[in-house]
C-alpha cells in the first residue's frame, strides 16, 4: 500500500493511500472514510433507504459532511431538484477533487450548492426547509461530536418539511456501540419514529455498519413505488436492512 497524501488541516488529519485490493482509500484521523471499491454500499444505503421511505417523494436534500461528494452524487442520480451540501473542511473537498474525481464530480452539478461551514451553525441559522437531511459525518469526536446530540436533532426537526426524514451514519455496532446509542437516543428524544438499519461495508471496522433514521411519522414504502436497484441496494435489502441482530437491538433499546 502506498501513501499518496498526508495533510493536517485545522480540523483533522487527512490521508490518502493506494491499496492493493480496494483502489484509493481516504482516511480522516486514521479512520476509513471510503475506498473506491466499496464506497457504493455506504452512499447508496445512506440515500436510497430514506428516499424510498419518506411519506412524499423528497425533492430537496441537505447533506451535512459528505465532503467527498459521494452522497451528493447519489442524490443527483436519483434526480433531486435541490441539494445543499455543508462540509466543514474545504481540504476534504480538495482532496476528493484530486484523488476521487468520480465522487467530487457531483459538486459541479448545478443542482448542488456546496457550502464550507460547520453543519451545526448552518442548521441553526438557515431559513430553508428540506425533505431529506443526511448526516454524512465522521465519528462523534472532534468537529462531528455536535452532530450526534439531541439539540442538533431538534434543530434539524425545525428545518424538515412535514414529510421530511433525517438519516445519520451511526457507526459500527460492534466497535462503536456508543456512537449508535448516542444517535438513537438523541433522535428518540426528538422524533416520533426512530429506526436503525445496517449494511455490509467491507472496509469499515467489523464490515458491519449502522444508519439511524428519524421522522415524525412511520416511514413506509410509498404506494406505487417502482422497484429500483443500485449496486448494493434493492427492494429486499430495503426491507431486510431493518432486521437487526440481538446485540444491536440491545444497544438501542
Ligand atoms: N463515509 C464516511 C464515514 O462514515 O466514514 C463519512 C465521509 S465524509 C468525508 C465525513 C465528513 O464530515 C468529513 O469530511 C468531515 O470534515 C465532515 N464533518 C465533520 N464534522 C462536521 C461538521 N460539524 N459540519 C460539517 N461537516 C463536518
Give the residue, out of 69, 104, 137, with the most ligand 1 atoms within 8 A of its beta carbon, to mutate for a pocket test.
Answer: 137
Residue 88 Cβ contacting ligand 1 at under 6 Å: yes
Mean pLDDT confidence for 95-113: 98
Query: pLDDT tens, 56-89?
Result: 999 999 999 999 999 999 999 999 999 999 999 9
Residue 39 Cβ contacting ligand 1 at under 6 Å: no
Active site residues: 136
Closest C-alpha to ligand 1, atom 8: 66
Give the residue, out of 87, 151, 179, with the most ligand 1 atoms within 8 A of its beta carbon, to mutate for a pocket test.
Answer: 87
pLDDT value at residue 200: 98
Q: Please say if the pLDDT value at position 168 is more than 90.
A: yes
Contact of 26 with 16, CB cutoff 8 Å: yes
Residue 74 Cβ contacting ligand 1 at under 6 Å: no
How sure is the predictor about 238, in pLDDT bands with cuts at 50, 70 and 90?
A: very high
Provide Rg for the chain, Cα atoms.
17
Domain residue limits, the chain: 36-252
Cell numbers that stand for 183 in this block: 444517535
Query: pLDDT tens, 8-18?
Result: 999 999 999 99
Ligand 1 center–CA 12 separation, angstroms:
10
How sure is the predictor about 35, in pLDDT bands with cuts at 50, 70 and 90?
A: very high
Q: How far, CA to CA in Å, does 21 sit from each of 25, 202, 212?
A: 10, 11, 29
pLDDT value at residue 224: 84
CA-based nearest residue to 71, from 97, 99, 39, 94: 39
Q: Please say if the pLDDT value at position 223 is more than 90.
A: no
User: What's this model's pTM, rounded to 2 decimal places?
Assistant: 0.98
Mean pLDDT confidence for 97-104: 98
Ligand 1 center–CA 105 separation, angstroms:
18
pLDDT value at residue 140: 86
The structural architecture, per CATH, of the domain 36-252 is 3-Layer(aba) Sandwich (3.40)
Tell me the β-bridge partners of 7.
14
Residue 119 Cβ contacting ligand 1 at under 6 Å: yes
Q: Please say if the pLDDT value at position 144 is more than 90.
A: no
Mean pLDDT confidence for 240-248: 98
Q: What does pLDDT average to over the chain? A: 97
Query: pLDDT tens, 18-30?
Result: 999 999 999 999 9
Amino acid at each position: 500500500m502506498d501513501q499518496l497524501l498526508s495533510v493536517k488541516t485545522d480540523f483533522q488529519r487527512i490521508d490518502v493511500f493506494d491499496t492493493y485490493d480496494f483502489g484509493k482509500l481516504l482516511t480522516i484521523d486514521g479512520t476509513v472514510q471510503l475506498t473506491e471499491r466499496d464506497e457504493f454500499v455506504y452512499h447508496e444505503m445512506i440515500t436510497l433507504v430514506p428516499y424510498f421511505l419518506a411519506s412524499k417523494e423528497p425533492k430537496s436534500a441537505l447533506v451535512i459532511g459528505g465532503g467527498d461528494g459521494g452522497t451528493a452524487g447519489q442524490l443527483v442520480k436519483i434526480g433531486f431538484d435541490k441539494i445543499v451540501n455543508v462540509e466543514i473542511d474545504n481540504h476534504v473537498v480538495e482532496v476528493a477533487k484530486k484523488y476521487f474525481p468520480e465522487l467530487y464530480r457531483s459538486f459541479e452539478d448545478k443542482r448542488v450548492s456546496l457550502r464550507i461551514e460547520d453543519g451545526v451553525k448552518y442548521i441553526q441559522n438557515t431559513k430553508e426547509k428540506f425533505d431529506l437531511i443526511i448526516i454524512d459525518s465522521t465519528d462523534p469526536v472532534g468537529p462531528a461530536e455536535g452532530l450526534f446530540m439531541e439539540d442538533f436533532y431538534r434543530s434539524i426537526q425545525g428545518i424538515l418539511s412535514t414529510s421530511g426524514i433525517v438519516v445519520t451514519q451511526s457507526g459500527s455496532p460492534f466497535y462503536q456501540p456508543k456512537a449508535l446509542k448516542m444517535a438513537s437516543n438523541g433522535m428518540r428524544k426528538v422524533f416520533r419514529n426512530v429506526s436503525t438499519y445496517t449494511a455490509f461495508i467491507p472496509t469499515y471496522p467489523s464490515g458491519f455498519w449502522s444508519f439511524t433514521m428519524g421522522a415524525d411519522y412511520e416511514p413506509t414504502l410509498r404506494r406505487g413505488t417502482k422497484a429500483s436497484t443500485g449496486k448494493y441496494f434493492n427492494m429486499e435489502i430495503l426491507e431486510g436492512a431493518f432486521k437487526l441482530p440481538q446485540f444491536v437491538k440491545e444497544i438501542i433499546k
